[in-house]
Amino acid sequence: MDRTLHVEDYLRRLGLRSSGPPSVEELFRLQAAHVERVPYENLQIWLGRPTTIDPAESWRRIMRGRGGYCCHLNGAFSVLLRLLGYAVIQHFGGVQGSPEEAAGATGNHLALTVSGLPTDANPGGRWLVDAGLGDAIHEPIPLVEGVYRQGPFRYALRRSEAEPGGWRFDHDPRGSFSGMDFRPGPTEMGAFQAKHEWLSTSPQSGFVRVASVQRRDTAGVDLLRGLVLTRVGLPPAGGGPDASVTLERREDYFAALADVYGMTLDDVGAAEKDALWSRLLAAHEEWLTSRQHT
């Protein structure tokens, strides 16, 4: 294990002073803090800064106030959980953006389960623990078939029809994707390398086509796609429907990154921010044009 990775630093990043011995209560606290404090985001791609999926690199980037997508977030989170004494398994998974996409594990998602923590409702003691599903779960879900409600969202967990022995997570209809399958056995980070390179570079990749930042909390999701910031679910103070706003000014965009997601981009210079804003503005205008022709 990389000796530069300090648990205390990571816990502070999550807004936690400490973590006790492994327990269901602590596991819930850790995941909730992670999805609330560490954003799901792909701005490194839009900044032209290639990343690896090495968990140590992801850990250090998270320490600098950034996030990442599933391989980064769950890769680092799995290291933290192991250092805290949890029995963690990494699984080869696949997310489908719409119901029309074929189910199955394609390697575009790293899923995590934790075992050895039984409860009355989950006597098997296994949990789906995922800090890399963007606008999905806020807390762990028992690895037991059923329907689970978290805040305003309704999820389902069942046996996968596409992956023998695996599991299927069905997202709430209001979510940004339809579902996720993962295989039952453990896998290594290297299994995701080819898909990570495709997601980071291919013109067909959703990460290349759309800049996305997401943050989950108990009441809903803050979703920034391109220049459109949407609150899905209840506002943090409660009350009111979903609401969207287009961030038409450069200063508003970077203020939203800082205020909503805690991303001050201190490591990004003015020229890089200008280039990022130009790319975002061009993509937004292209999106508006495409809507006019549909």
Q: What does the radius of gyration of the chain's CA atoms come to, in whole angstroms? A: 19
Statement: residue 290 has pLDDT above 90: no
For the chain, percent of residues with pLDDT exceeding 90 = 91
Domain boundary assignment for the chain: 204-292
Question: pLDDT digit string (tens) for 45-88?
Answer: 999 999 999 999 999 999 999 999 999 999 999 999 999 999 99
- Cα separation, 82 vs 273, in Å, equals 36
Question: Helix 55-63 to helix 70-83 angle, to the nearest 10 degrees?
Answer: 90
The helix, strand and coil proportions of the chain, stated in percent and rounded to the nearest 5, come to: 35, 20, 45
Are 7 and 86 within 8 A, CB to CB? Answer: no
Are 125 and 142 within 8 A, CB to CB? Answer: no
Element (H, E) at 109: strand 109-115
Token look-up 């969207």 returns 244
Statement: residue 235 has pLDDT above 80: no
pLDDT at 107: 97
Are 62 and 10 within 8 A, CB to CB? Answer: yes
Task: Looking at 161-225, list the stretches that DSSP marks H as alpha helix, in order from N- to C-terminal side.
Answer: 193-201, 206-209
Give, in degrees to the nearest 5, the angle at Cα 207 between 56 and 11: 35
Q: Which of 126-140, 197-211, 229-243 has the lowest mean pLDDT?
A: 229-243
Using 50, 70 and 90 to split pLDDT, how confident is the model at 128? very high
Using 50, 70 and 90 to split pLDDT, how confident is the model at 91? very high
Q: What does the block give as tokens for 94? A: 């696949």
pLDDT at 292: 81
- Cα separation, 224 vs 213, in Å, equals 5
Average pLDDT score over residue span 204-216: 97
Question: Helix 24-37 to helix 70-83 angle, to the nearest 10 degrees?
Answer: 140
pTM of the model: 0.94
Statement: residue 293 has pLDDT above 80: no
Token look-up 């009350």 returns 239
pLDDT at 3: 64
Residue 113: count of CB within 10 angstroms of its CB:
21
Output phi, psi for 114, to 5 deg.
-120, 135
Using 50, 70 and 90 to split pLDDT, how confident is the model at 291? confident
- Cα separation, 154 vs 173, in Å, equals 8
Question: pLDDT digit string (tens) for 133-190?
Answer: 999 999 999 999 999 999 999 999 999 999 999 999 999 999 999 999 999 999 999 9
- The residue among 99 and 238 whose pLDDT is bigger is 99
CA 69 to chain centre: 5
Using 50, 70 and 90 to split pLDDT, how confident is the model at 132? very high
- Which CATH code of 3.30.1180.10, 3.40.50.920, 3.40.50.720, 3.30.2140.10 fits the domain covering 204-292? 3.30.2140.10
